[in-house]
Structure 1
Amino acid sequence: SEALQLLLRSLPENCLFNVVSFGSHFDSLFEKSQPYSEGSFSKALKHAQEMTANYGGTEIYNPLKWAFENSRNDMPTSVFFLTDGQVYNVDQIVELIKSCEEKKKDDLRFFSIGIGDSVSHNLIDSVARAGKGYSQFVTNTERMDKKILGMLKNAIKPPIKDYNITWTDQIIEDSLPIETNTSNKPTISFFSDNTTPPSPIKNIFTDIKIQQAPYLIPPIYPGARFIVYCFLEKGVEACKEITLSAISHDGPMKLSIPLDPVVLQGSKIHTLAARKVIQDLEDGTSFIHKHSKNVGKSIPNSFIREQIVKLGVMYNLASKYTSFLAIDERDNKFVTEAKSLPAQRIVPLPPLNAHPTSVPIYARSARRNQVKIQGLGVNNIVNSVACSALISAPRCASFQFSDESSLEDSDFSYCSGDYQFSDSFAPVLPTTSVKSKPPYIETLYNFLDFQSFNGSFLPSTNFYSWFGKNDFKDFEVIGIENENVLCLALAMAYLEIIMFETFKDECEMCYEKAKKVLKKEVDGDEQKINEILEKVKEWVKKWADE
């Protein structure tokens, strides 16, 4: 639930959002997507904190269909989809996303995260491709906060689209379509029981000189790797510099990429390219489906299957229609099957002065952490946005050492100094203040509890006590008269100095929200903002070193 809480805190003010939990059944936090406000934020935050694993198995189609039907059509929608499960109807789900994407005319983006070792990679990758987003995976011991926030940053930015790559300087004329050969058609018996007349095979254009995969380049996002391949027919030479052009929110973009001819040699790159072509064919986005000469033509599934099999056999690739059987041609001696036992290993206890890693030190059910899904709709940073949220339904945990409520106040600190031992030989750790603790992610979550939905940090006794002070008067040495401005500047300085080194990706968007509020407080005076922050950062550095 921590990742969902952080996502909710990082949402822009001008968006609409919803949260859908699903499993063998599903429910939504709101009947319709709600504007991001103090009330809706508080309700969603409480929902995330109380989330439990009680939704059973994984059923995705119906909650997705509901989310699409209840999303706003007058503004873009982004969906964040998180799951640790597998489904049997991936193709049906992909078709649902495609149909919604076509209706919204590029105003839908679908981001997916697969959690754990048993999640379906085919599901996670396929839905992201269909929704023109991207996919990522996290292990059971890995935190997902950073990856979710990276997706949110990309979701609130206007996408760069209409990509085009110039592969060659030569003028290429497309060849003529394949002609229908009626002489090779099988003879139909007059007494056949099949009353359905065979559908005529239309001319399908396939002879292309430059075959790019993927044929249609989807939006490309910062931090997400994307590879485009190209087959050039013999006699067609590639440019010395490949030109990539696209359209951004601010206008046309262009990039020239020098081509290393050494990269063009060898069979591995051809195999990777062929696999991408097969993926295009399976997804229905290949040049055969999307080329202007094939518009309006019905492409038979048998024809697509033939192309996939041809590529699979040529490049030894497994696909929906190709597989490989390994045959051992040694003598046929019977080999008894040995009983295999799981390997045992001894895990040594860490030394007392060992420093903890970024992985949480406490134990909890892996299944419980694999169940969140959230989604939102976004337009751009300035305009209003609509959102649908999808939260993956958690499955019941098989065991749990402790629940979240018992861990809220549990901070673990390892020091290199001397330890005192009780009669039970348990080390007693020296008590330390917040400022001297290493920046754990739990500390960040606790501090962000002071932030309101709009990014402000309001004055309070608890906020001042975080810094070891009682009230506003204790900060007179800084020289800031406006209490709201002081609290905002203190929070921003704390995040930048204490948290950015380890958790910048996780708290950067919360920092930017606070900066916008501070800018309003000083009427947009950038020079005054810099002066205030310099004073406060100097105080925070001294406070941290005490």
Structure 2
Amino acid sequence: MMVNCCGLLTASKEPVPLKSIEVEVEVRDHVATVVSTLNYENKEDKPIEAVFVFPLPGDAAVCHFSAKIGQKEIVAEVKEKQKAREEYDDALSSGQQAFLLEESEQSPDIFSLSVGSLPPGESASISLEYVTELAVQADDGLRFCLPAVLNPRYQPQGSEAASVQVTSVPASLVPYNLSFSVRVSSPRPVSKVESSCSLDPLQYLNTEQTQATVKLAAGHKFDRDVELLIYYKDAHQPTAVVEAGQASAKPGTLMGDPVVMLSLYPEFPQAVMSSVAPCGEFVLLLDRSGSMSGACMESAKDTLLLLLKSLPMGCYFNIYSFGSSHEHIFPKSVEYSQETMEEALKKVGEMTANLGGTEILRPLKDIYSQPCIPNQPRQLFVFTDGEVGNTKEVINLVKRNSGSHRCFSFGIGEGASSALINGLAKEGGGHAQFITGTDRMQPKVMQSLRFALQPAVADISVKWDVPKGVAVTVLSPPITALFQGQRSLIYAQLTVKSHLISRIFRAAEGCVTVKYSLAGHPSKSQLNFSLKPAEDTGLTVHRLAARTLIRSLEMEETRRTRQQNEGVKKKVVEHSVQSGVSSVFTAFIAVNKGTGKAIQGPLVRRNVPTGLRECALFDDNMSYYNSADDCEDIHGFSYGECEEAYDGITVIRPAQPPRDPFLQLVSLQKASGCWERDPALAAALGKTSEEVENTKPSGVNQEVWATFLALIWLHGSKMEAQDEWELLAMKAASWLRAQNAPYATECVEAGNALLGFNVQKDALGL
């Protein structure tokens, strides 16, 4: 049930104390340091406690928290969570100002900030700093996302924890504003920075173009996530950064020793890649909860069409969909054929976002209960807007089944949970993608399908070669997945006997070798690196390494006995306090002990609203329903019945554009890869059936001619979308080669003449 009610707070009823947010981001290569400043002001005549629940990237390492009141700055400490809460409560009860920042126990991408005992007329400035790795996207862009939208998370009945209480309003009504600036620096030139939001032009700071700044354009409303894609030239270069330990920390500890961060980009031998026979069991899991309605659902259905047309002959597949309940198209995975493909597409065409809340755990259990098919590696594709409250439960289930499949995840729309989407892919040995704003889902999904068709890498091992006297402690979990050209990160602590430190780290080198088996062929990737610490990195690498270690321990904690858990929890708290990095068992606490007198009057609690995306339902009192479950909980009828059943409900649905010729063409392709001559094909090509028939070279089979025309049209008019149709075009070219058609040259010439293109035969892959 959805227990976090989404009410609209109006300025006349409850003034909102958060006035503005300023964000400064420094990106160094693929790591971002983010400093957010939240400015509060109490304009009421009573002291207040402001509570702000907000999202952060799921793998962020929150490492600094401070509050400034007037000219006085109070820096928070990391303490065990219960102790921090008690200290906060004690401070408030004695009239002192206090600030508490804690991570949600259900999902590591949700934080709550309590600003306690803000007197009438008082202002406070809260500063929050975190570091995060930037994920590599399918097109080699590095993705940075500043989450602005926190969608309510669906909490299934009987789940392990209570839901996070979130006060939310439609994002355009959020009353605070955002200023946002980014500085980028890298050893390689910055080629471009793109965003779903309007940016001022990129400003280069040096002639080498290795440093640049960019800002959000004026007038940005805090109504959606701020997503940046940063592109470097020659992005696939392996790198190593060694960071010196903290001078005040004890040698032999994580913060006292040097730490190395390695970025590896394996390149697989082309001979092996091209020799692998495509096969697999492809299980597609689609979110059909109410929040997926409208454009999200239509885009997902178009994507399933492309996926199904691109699957290789001889593979197996099935499609599951879920909301509060779940469905499947076939009782178990079936062999891919024209008949099964057509049946699946018919069912996909009938799908709507009508299945209620986001209950993803049950369909996953159902999928994992099905036995795997011999010699058909299971590949799971999950499409969701990620509005779940039991994130850790879901990720743990995927991890427990990681030996039987690879999981590719897709976060759809604003506010998709990065903890869920990244966690599914990481624990499932796959790859994660996010689709926001006006992004097309199809190219990202097809890139993941290309990854899924790569052979699974087995027997991965990492060997370190370092000078004598240096001990290596790997802090990252073992690598479970490698993909062609995709980055793998490894963190390791380097412990050295104290009298050897200056000699070893002055000029020595280390080497790391990753060995693995690829389709039965032994392969390896190697990186040599200097042990000399880099300059000006602060403690960024140490904090990211600490976060990696803490996350691994937290995952371990969920699979052990209560007694073992106490030991794991103790380790997490120890590392968290020592490194100053947040965890599920700790919190940041700051108390202003100089306020002196107790505050008069009762403390009023104010929940600061967080933005929601607007594709939803409003009643005549402007109450907000984010999903079918909200409607059912409040009114007792389903999302689809709203308009008819309740006078005051308005359903906001974007107009659906007519289907474009590209998708029409794709929908006509057969499972084998060919097209048949059909009036619908002629229409998609912009021609009449007579024109298609009259230009066919004599003696040419109708299917061969139709397939040539489709391929020529794709190459001639849709090259900008090649990522989307490349796999199905390869299947078509393979089908043509199997026909041994002797008329290829004549067909290409006649097809070009009919369609007005100049596509070369070689370009078609023949």
TM-score class, shorter-chain normalisation, is 0.5 to 0.7
Match of residue 315 from structure 1: 579
More helix by share: 1
In the alignment, the residues of structure 2 paired with residue 262 and residue 170 of structure 1 have an alpha-carbon distance, to the nearest angstrom, of 13
Q: What do residues 305-336 of structure 1 show as CA deviations (whole Å, max 9, x unaligned)?
A: 22212221122111121221233466479799
Change (3 A) 1:285 1:458: farther
Q: 1:94 to 1:73 in 2, by over 3 A?
A: farther
Amino acid corresponding to residue 708 of structure 2 in structure 1: A
Pair 1:60-2:360 in alignment:
yes
* 8 Å CA contact retained: 1:97, 1:127: yes
More strand by share: 2
Q: 1:229 aligns with which of 470, 474, 491?
A: 491
Classify the secondary structure of the residue corresponding to 2:582: coil
Query: SS in structure 1 opposite 2:664?
Result: helix
The answer (yes or no) to whether the contact 1:77–1:109 under 8 Å persists in 2 is yes
| Equivalent position amino acid for 1:520 in 2 | A
**Structure-1-length-normalised TM-score:** 0.66
Give the CA deviation at 1:456: 0.8
Q: Is the 8 A contact 1:140 1:366 kept in 2?
A: no
Aligned position for 1:511: 729
Match of 2:62 in 1: none
Aligned match of 1:445: 663
What does residue 72 of structure 1 align with?
A: 372
Which amino acid in structure 2 is aligned with residue 82 of structure 1? F
Report the CA distance between 1:89 and its aligned residue. Answer: 3.0
1:32 counterpart = 2:332 = yes
Higher mean C-alpha displacement, 91-100 vs 29-38: 91-100
Identity %: 26
Q: Kindly provide the amino acid, as one letter, of the partner of residue 718 in structure 2.
A: M
1:461 aligns with 2:679: yes
Structure 2 counterpart of 1:5, from 289, 297, 305: 305
Q: Any residues of structure 2 matched to 1:279-428 within 5 Å, and which?
A: 279-284=551-556, 300-328=564-592, 331=595, 365=615, 399-402=651-654, 404=656, 407-408=657-658
Rate the CA distance shift 1:86–1:339 in 2: closer, same or farther, 3 A. closer
Alpha-carbon spacing, 1:66–1:327, altered in 2? closer, same or farther (3 Å): same
1:140 is displaced (CA, Å) by 4.4
| Residues 1:259 and 1:321: Cα distance change in structure 2 (over 3 Å) | same
* TM-score under structure 2 length normalisation: 0.48
Structure 1 counterpart of 2:325, one-letter code:
H
State the secondary structure of the residue aligned to 1:47: helix
Q: CA deviation at 1:225?
A: 3.6
Aligned to 1:489: 708
TM-superposition CA deviations, 1:365-403 (whole Å, max 9, x none): 489xx99xxxxxxxxxxxxxxxxxxxxxx9769734456
Matched residues in 2 for 1:114 and 1:520: separation?
39
Partner of 1:475: 695
User: 2:673 touches 2:731 (CA, 8 Å); kept in 1?
Assistant: yes
Q: In structure 2, what is the Cα distance between the partners aligned to 1:408 and 1:54?
A: 22
Amino acid at match of 1:468: K
Determine the C-alpha separation between the residues in 2 that align with 1:317 and 1:540: 64
1:257 alignment counterpart: 527
Q: How much has 1:339 moved relative to structure 2?
A: 10
Inter-partner Cα distance in structure 2 for 1:39 and 1:318: 53
Offset of residue 113 of structure 1 = 1.5
Partner of 1:416: none
CA contact (8 A) 2:396 2:555 kept: no
Three-state SS of the structure 2 residue aligned to 1:327 is: strand
Amino acid of the residue matched to residue 159 of structure 1? A
For residues 244 and 539 of structure 1, do their structure 2 counterparts lie closer, same or farther at Cα, with a shift above 3 Å needed?
A: farther
2:347 corresponds to 1:47: yes
Distance 1:338 1:63, change over 3 A: closer
**Paired residue for 2:434, among 126, 131, 137?**
137
Q: Tell me the amino acid that sits aligned with residue 475 of structure 1.
A: T
Query: What secondary structure is seen at the aligned counterpart in 2 of 1:228?
Result: strand
CA offset at residue 108 of structure 1?
0.8
Q: How many residues align?
A: 415
1:110 aligns with 2:380: no
Partner letter of residue 94 of structure 1? I
C-alpha change, 1:220 and 1:22, in structure 2 (3 Å) is: same
Pair 270,338 (structure 1): closer, same or farther in 2 beyond 3 Å: closer
Q: What amino acid maps onto 1:399 in structure 2?
A: V
> Is the CA contact 2:454–2:483 (under 8 Å) kept in the aligned structure 1?
no
**Is 2:237 the partner of 1:17?**
no
Letter in 2 for 1:277: L
Q: Offset of 1:171 from its aligned partner?
A: 6.5
Partner Cα separation in structure 1 for residue 562 and residue 516 of structure 2: 30
Q: CA, structure 1 residues 172+250, in 2 after alignment: closer, same or farther (shift >3 Å)?
A: farther
Whole-angstrom distance in 1 between the partners of 2:509 and 2:755: 54
Alignment of 1:135-214 (within 5 A): 135-170=432-467, 209-214=471-476
Q: Per the alignment, do residues 518 and 308 of structure 1 end up closer, same or farther by CA in structure 2, a change over 3 Å counting?
A: same
For residue 78 of structure 1, report the CA deviation from its aligned partner. 1.3
Give me the whole-angstrom Cα distance separating, in 2, the residues matched to 1:366 and 1:443. Answer: 30
In structure 2, what is the Cα distance between the partners aligned to 1:134 and 1:218? Answer: 12
Structure 2: runs of 5+ lacking an equivalent: 1-300, 498-503, 618-625, 628-637, 643-649, 760-766
1:505-544 mapped onto 2 (5 Å cutoff): 505-522=723-740, 531=745, 535=749, 538-539=752-753, 542-543=756-757
**Coordinate RMSD, CA, aligned:** 4.0
Change (3 A) 1:365 1:535: farther
Given that 1:112 and 1:135 are in contact with CA atoms closer than 8 Å, whether structure 2 keeps it comes out as yes
1:217 to 471, 479, 484: 479
Q: What do the CA deviations read for 1:181-233 (whole angstroms, capped 9, x no partner)?
A: xxxxxxxxxxxxxxxxxxxxxxxxxxxx3222323111122464432111111
Q: Which sits farther off after the overlay, 304-313 or 119-128?
A: 119-128
Distance in 2 between residues matched to 1:533 and 1:246, nearest whole Å: 45
Q: Deviations over 1:139-183 (max 9, x none)?
A: 24322212211111111221223333333244689xxxxxxxxxx
Q: Report the residue type matching 2:460 in the other structure.
A: Y
With over 3 angstroms needed to count, the CA separation of the structure-2 counterparts of 1:342 and 1:214, relative to structure 1, is closer
Q: Distance in 2 between matches of 1:328 and 1:480?
A: 89
1:418 match: none
Return the alpha-carbon distance in structure 1 between the equivalents of residues 362 and 570 of structure 2. 33
Bigger relative contact order (CA 8 A; separation at least 6):
1
Q: 1:482 to 1:66 in 2, by over 3 A?
A: same
Distance 1:309 1:400 in 2: 47
Residues 339 and 210 (structure 1), Cα distance of their counterparts in 2 relative to 1, 3 Å cut:
closer
Give secondary structure in 2 for the equivalent of 1:519: helix
Structure 1 position 337, deviation (Å)? 9.5
Separation of aligned partners in 1, 2:607 and 2:725: 47
SS of structure 2 residue aligned to 1:539: helix
Q: Distance in 1 between matches of 2:429 and 2:557?
A: 12
| Distance of aligned partners of 1:128 and 1:339 in 2 relative to their CA distance in 1, 3 Å threshold | closer
CA contact 1:23–1:59 (8 Å) conserved in 2: yes
Structure 2 vs 1, CA of residues 366 and 543 (structure 1 numbering), >3 Å: closer, same or farther? farther
Is the 8 Å Cα contact of residues 5 and 49 (structure 1) preserved in structure 2? Answer: no
Q: Which AA in structure 2 matches 1:452?
A: K
Gaps of 5+ in 1: 174-208, 290-295, 344-363, 372-393, 410-441
CA contact (8 A) 1:24 1:57 kept: yes
Q: CA deviation at 1:474?
A: 2.4
